[in-house]
Amino acid sequence: MDIRPHANRVAEGEIPGSVVIERIHLEWRLAPDSEWRLPGVTADTVAVVVCNEGYSSSLAAADLQRLGLPGATDLTGGFRAWAAAGQPVRPGGSPAVP
């Protein structure tokens, strides 16, 4: 779950296969008991939250755990650590989940 701002995703790219969710929408799109959750999200869903450097994603993952998603975690070091390690990156700018 890529929660980075659009400008960062355009400038730096995205992790292939990531789902872009605006940070302000994350909880209500992933909380297992939310009527607006993404299709298929259950209490058993594993969600890896990604931000720029791993700070806000840690807080977001903790929020998701409190909302009933125990498999929520984050990517240590965030997107920038991923890219610096030579992991795959695609061009950025994907629209966020509505």
pLDDT tier at 67 (50, 70, 90 boundaries)?
very high
pLDDT band at 98 (very low <50, low <70, confident <90, very high): confident
Each residue's pLDDT tens digit, 71-96 = 999 999 999 999 999 999 999 999 99
Beta strand segments in the chain, E = 47-49, 72-74
> How far is CA 60 from each of CA 16, 20, 63, 84, 85, rounded to the nearest angstrom?
21, 14, 5, 23, 23
**At 67, is the secondary structure helix, strand, or coil?**
coil
Question: For the segment 14-64, what is each residue's pLDDT rounded down to a tens digit?
Answer: 999 999 999 999 999 999 999 999 999 999 999 999 999 999 999 999 999
Query: What pTM does this model have?
Result: 0.93
Q: Which domains does the chain have, with CATH numbers?
A: 6-84 (3.40.250.10)
Q: Please identify which residue in the block is written with the tokens 């659009």.
A: 6
